[in-house]
Amino acid sequence: MVTDFLNRIIEQKGQDIARARKVVVEARLEEVARQRKDFRSLYEALSRKGAAVNIIAEIKRASPSKGDIRADLDAAGAARQYEKGGAAAVSVLTDATFFKGHLDDLRAARSACGLPVLRKEFIISRYQVYEAAAAGADAILLIVRILSREKLDQLYALCRELGMDALVEIHTPEEARIVAASDVRLVGINNRNLNSFETDIAVAMELVSQLGPGQLPVAASGISEPDDVRRNLSFGIRNFLVGESIVRAEDSARFIEELKAAGTHSN
Ligand SMILES: O=C(O)c1ccccc1NCC(=O)[C@H](O)[C@H](O)COP(=O)(O)O
């Protein structure tokens, strides 16, 4: 069910897309997107056997729930720090209105590091999928809650056809059932309710058992210390999408190392 905040965001996305279409038409974006070959696989980065813990580190200047987190965060500098700390991938919030992000942040982050880069966005149309691929994204976020089944299938198929991965996000048992019955291979389990903003890190631990065989879970939101990672590991979750706590850390590279070390020490 889509409610107040999500309705506002979807309305805003409609306006953003309409404005963008006036600058670059969809056919041109599609052409650029279809020419791209240089994808870095998020799925492979999260499937590697070596690491006990994989961190997708997020570039997040602000959020609807917290306001400004670090408004002057430099995307390229952050991506370099995240890679130095051993992150498996970088997530970039590209929404301007609620998160103070931009597609240019994604371009800057990708040029600055060798990691796969996820476009974290409220994606509701093919236009945004082409836009992501054309800007250099290696993966996109698709949120089950804001998409009809048909639209989810369409956008997922398009994203895979272009060569990107999709992190398909769920938050409820019903959404877990939808995804479990699909061929989606990367599932983000968001601990945050996107309407109330309430965050409970037990959500991922509760829903992970409902995923299908071979689906890789990524616990997202509210991970703030190594102990959160340790708790998730005992439920078989080894992939984490972390924003605020990395951005607020005095030394983001060191903080990522500490989160990853929770995996080494729990073995
Ligand atoms: O972060 C928010 O306040 C938020 C509110 C409504 C919709 C989405 C929101 N965040 C997007 C994200 O998915 C998070 O940035 C991401 O999972 C990292 O979360 P955190 O580690 O808690 O910053």
List pLDDT tens digits, range 178-193.
999 999 999 999 999 9
Q: Is 121 in the pocket of ligand 1 (CB under 6 A)?
A: no
* Distance from C-alpha of 128 to C-alpha of 26, rounded to nearest angstrom: 9
Look at residue 143 in the predicted model and tell me its pLDDT: 98
Q: Tokens 């599609």 belong to which residue?
A: 30
Residue 113 C-alpha to ligand 1 middle, in angstroms? 23
Q: Which two tokens stand for residue 33?
A: 């997107």
The response to whether residue 188 sits with its C-beta less than 6 Å from ligand 1 reads: no
Question: Coil, strand, or helix at residue 47?
Answer: helix
Residues 17-36, mean pLDDT to the nearest whole number: 98
For residue 208, what is the domain's CATH number? 3.20.20.70
Domain tally, the chain: 1
CA of 192 to the centre of ligand 1 (A): 7
pLDDT band at 49 (very low <50, low <70, confident <90, very high): confident
What are the beta bridge partners of residue 58?
91
Burial class (CB in 10 A: 0-12, 13-18, 19+), 65: middle
What pLDDT does residue 1 have?
56
Alpha-carbon separation of residue 39 from 114, 117, 124 (angstroms):
11, 9, 22
Quick one: which of 77, 164, 172 has its CA closest to 128? Answer: 164
Q: How confident is the model over 193-198, as a mean pLDDT? A: 92
Closest CA to 30 of 95, 125, 101: 125
pTM, 2 dp: 0.97
**Domain range for 95:** 4-266
In the predicted model, what is the mean pLDDT of the chain?
96
| Contact yes or no for 137/104 (Cβ under 8 A) | no
Residue nearest to atom 12 of ligand 1 (CA): 221
In angstroms and rounded to an integer, the radius of gyration of the C-alpha atoms of the chain is 17
Q: Closest Cα partner for 29 from 109, 105, 103, 118?
A: 103
d(CA 251, CA 69): 15
Q: Is 139 in contact with 42 (CB distance < 8 Å)?
A: yes
Quick check: CB of 223 below 6 Å from ligand 1?
yes
ipTM comes to 0.98
Please tell me if the CB atom of residue 64 comes closer than 6 angstroms to any atom of ligand 1: yes
Q: Is the CB of 222 under 6 A from ligand 1?
A: yes
Q: How far apart are CA 59 and CA 89, in angstroms?
A: 11
For residue 1, how many other CB atoms are within 10 A of its CB? 7
For residue 212 and ligand 1, the question of a CB distance below 6 A is answered with: no
Distance 184 CA to ligand 1 centre (A): 21
- Range from 47-51, 79-83, 153-157 carrying the lowest mean pLDDT: 47-51
- Please compute the mean of the pLDDT values over residues 122-128 and round it to a whole number: 98
